[in-house]
Amino acid sequence: MSRGRGDGDQTKRFVTWIVVLSIICGCVYLYSRNSGTSALEYGSKSLRKLGSSYLGGEDDGDETTNKSGEEVQGDIILKSIPVCDDRHSELIPCLDRNLIYQTRLKLDLSLMEHYERHCPVPERRFNCLIPPPPGYKVPIKWPKSRDEVWKVNIPHTHLASEKSDQNWMVVKGDKISFPGGGTHFHYGADKYIASIANMLNFSNNNLNNEGRLRTVLDVGCGVASFGGYLLSSDIIAMSLAPNDVHQNQIQFALERGIPAYLGVLGTKRLPYPSRSFELAHCSRCRIDWLQRDGILLLELDRLLRPGGYFAYSSPEAYAQDEEDLRIWKEMSALVERMCWKIAAKRNQTVIWVKPLTNDCYKQREPGTRPPLCKSDDDPDAVWGVPMKACITPYSNQQHKAKGTGLAPWPARLITPPPRLADFGYSAEMFDKGHESLAAQG
């Protein structure tokens, strides 16, 4: 009997403990639902506060948090997005070299495939906010940012020491300054830009050529000082560089407020339709332009407008050693077959110009390489499309126009471009659309 009572007492004690634990867990759950925010939510609010201060606003205190941790603004419920771990503060999801190593992607390094976009599968993607570096400050605003940024915002100064003899950037106290130098133009991008304009006989040594040259592609841009100094000439440059050993160069460009993106001339077309740029520029960009039947030069050809320029500053343009002479000879033969002509050549820089019409292409000997692209090739299809080692001829409209027919900038904004006809649009439709937008603005 005593044994039976002991078993009963143990059972009662066990049930009692179960009840007590259930009550404690319930209280913890309710407390977590009703009490202060989690570290992740705090991080999200910190990021919003940073954005508010940057825009000149203040925390008005109107936001409330409901029991599920969701923020309520009026009738809109905003769900909190967690903040990534500090280890991922510089994560670039589709340009993550760690992903390439971990998944053992079979890429051809000689074709720069490892610098192209390779996005993770859904289960390996991050759904969180990238945190700012510790001590992050509101960025210095343009135009002052062209010449200096806060060091704490990009805490990487190895480029400053590595490129100290080329005036890329200099660390000065809590800031990083940009003297405007580059690998080829140590004495400043402004002087280099003026020299290119002078080579082309543009008035007042202004590269915008009275508004006729507006869009530029800068390949292998470094910290994008070339593109930054073009802005004062009313020229927009897109600066392009890979996420290579100088992995922070594009980060510096964007912190300065200069249009730039991570990319490479590899195997895929750049994400721009054909005939997008009036000038392409490469200064010591270390690109093998002769590889794969000149496919990289042909990609520039696709992107250049009729009469567009390619400014090339590199040892091959002036050096006299055997290897540079060989490269120069083969490159000159290639661009001649592409119907490019030398517009100017001085010291260490050569500028080629693209033809205005298809006449030269038609006069080439049969079987000349590179060939013309097939008629069913769409030169404006770009996303994930492989480059092609062929010349994109002009449409009949552009061939007859003998050029782009674009008005100088800024009149170009409201003047119908002749190329509209290639897409089935008329000048009247353009004017009507412009008037509609103007009325809305």
Residue ranges of domains in the chain? 86-124, 144-409
* Gap between the terminal Cα atoms of the chain: 93
CB 288 within 8 A of CB 326: no
3-state class (DSSP) for residue 326: helix
The pLDDT of residue 281 is 97
Q: For the domain covering 144-409, report its CATH number.
A: 3.40.50.150
The pLDDT of residue 37 is 36
The pLDDT of residue 9 is 57
The pLDDT of residue 214 is 98
Question: Over its length of 441 residues, how does the chain's per-residue pLDDT go in tens digits?
Answer: 444 444 555 555 655 666 555 665 555 444 444 433 333 333 444 444 444 443 344 444 444 444 444 566 667 777 788 999 888 888 888 988 888 888 888 899 899 998 899 999 998 888 899 888 889 999 999 999 999 999 999 888 887 777 766 778 889 999 999 988 777 787 789 999 999 999 999 999 999 999 999 999 999 888 899 999 999 999 999 999 888 766 678 899 999 999 999 999 999 999 999 999 999 999 988 899 999 999 999 999 999 999 999 999 988 887 788 998 999 999 999 999 999 999 999 988 999 999 999 999 999 999 999 999 999 999 999 999 999 999 999 988 888 878 889 999 999 999 999 888 888 888 899 988 888 888 886
3-state class (DSSP) for residue 12: helix
Q: What is the pTM of this model?
A: 0.81
CA distances from 431 to 267, 282, 352, 435, 436 (A): 39, 37, 35, 6, 9
CB 141 within 8 A of CB 135: no
CB 316 within 8 A of CB 331: yes
The pLDDT of residue 75 is 72
CB 268 within 8 A of CB 387: yes
CB 262 within 8 A of CB 118: no
R_g of the chain computed on alpha carbons: 29
The pLDDT of residue 49 is 45
